[in-house]
Amino acid sequence: MDSHNNKLTGVTDPAEYRQLIKTLGRGKKGSRSLTLVESFQLVRGFYDNIGTVTQLSVALMLMRVKGETAEEVAGAALALRSTVDNQWQQLQVDIDWPCYGAKRDQLPYLLLSAKLLAGNGFKILLHGDNRVLPHRQHIAGFVEAVGITSATSMAEAEVALTSTGICYVNADVLSPLVNSFTDIHQEIGLRSLYQSAIRCINPTGARLSLRSYFHPGLDDIHLNVAKLMADNAQALHRTNVAIFKGYQGECELNPRSSSSINVFRHEGFAQVEITTQLNALIGRKAQAAQLQAQWLTAIWNGEPLDSDSHDICTSTGNATEALRAHSAIMTNVMAVLMLTDQSLNIDNAKRLASEYWMSRHSHLMTQSAIAIFKPYLSLTTNCEVANAHTESI
């Protein structure tokens, strides 16, 4: 019996484990999907050295081909969660923020959103897997630059949460299974239900857990997964799960489009609507200089973005990205505020997010805090930015 999941037990016999593989692979007429319990046993059995990496890999690919069900994802997530040390649940965390998508050609502006929220009393745990493709911008490569601690133990995470309200933890610190699943992914070259399940573990049992998806249909699966996990793990009964389409798959809202956030609560389902916050932005993708950690620190500190540039195209290119950055930061802060306080409407959330931003440095006056953006908002040339405007913040 596992202390994380008091209704679930693993298998103890290799023959039972083989039966799980047979259930998936008996052919068109004889095969079926795994139940939640069987999926739990598949992953937990591998952890307990009952099954082999070959067996696990075969099962993952069989599920991948037919399409993973919510029961299979939930069972795998509960099994992953069962391998996380119980001490993590002693941490006081308000927001569980899993970051496993890693954007392609944008910086992870969610880091500045999270940092802003942490500076205003929220306790936030970021977690992700930094073993991603080299062209992806994973948050692990940027947390240190923006002053967020990368914790390598529960004790380090506790210190960081107490002192700054935020920390990042790589998933392999949470569960020894992470490296095994990542090895399988990199060797075979195909995704599996792990990529969805790891987002759902909420290792500290935070009251709010954010979940992003990219492919259509995964929102319904995540809603069902949230319900199934709450039904099977007592520590998750109080968790509200917010599910939305991520910006390039990352756990971050896209300010250039409206977003419907589906929320699972123990008492039922709800929906939060975020309107488009950045309209008609036309410009190139972020350039190499705008994918460096220094860009994030410049945004946060209110430093000039192009002090060495005399090229108007470069200046307005920075204007495009600065505008996108600010809108992304504010959009995500607004959304979290609305998710944590149901009495807030979008206008109140905007005002509160703006107050957070203006006061993010106690030593900065309000005008200094916004000075970084004013020059860029006035640059509208056909070289980069055309007809761009933000909703009033």
CA distance 242 to 262: 6
Q: What is the largest CA-CA distance in the chain?
A: 71
Domains of the chain: 89-175+195-274 (3.40.1030.10), 278-390 (no CATH)
Amino acid at 176: P
The model's pTM is: 0.87
Q: What is the pLDDT of residues 165-192, one digit of tens each?
A: 999 999 999 999 999 999 999 999 999 9
Assign 324 a pLDDT band (cuts: 50, 70, 90): confident
Q: Which is more confident, 292 or 57? A: 57
pLDDT band at 295 (very low <50, low <70, confident <90, very high): confident
- Joined tokens for residue 308: 């060495």
Q: How far is CA 167 from the centre of its chain?
A: 14
Task: Identify the pLDDT of residue 302.
Answer: 82
- Per-residue pLDDT of 251-288, as tens digits, reads 999 998 899 999 999 888 999 999 988 875 555 565 55
- Strands 389-390, 268-274: pairing is unpaired
* Beta carbons within 10 angstroms of residue 306's beta carbon: 18
**In which element (H, E) is residue 260 found?**
strand 259-265
Given this model, what pLDDT does residue 137 score?
82
pLDDT for 259 equals: 92
Per-residue confidence (pLDDT) for residue 217, from 0 to 100? 82
| Cα torsion 91, 97, 98, 99: sign | negative
**Quick one: three-class SS letters along 312-325?**
HHHHHHHHHHHHHH
Nearest C-alpha neighbor of 210 from the set 168, 171, 241, 170: 241
Among 225-229, 360-364, 388-392, the minimum mean pLDDT is found in 388-392
Check pLDDT > 80 for residue 289: no
The answer to whether the CB of 279 falls within 8 A of the CB of 388 is yes
Mean pLDDT of the chain: 86
8 A C-beta contact, residue 300 and residue 54 = no
Share of the chain above pLDDT 70, in %: 83
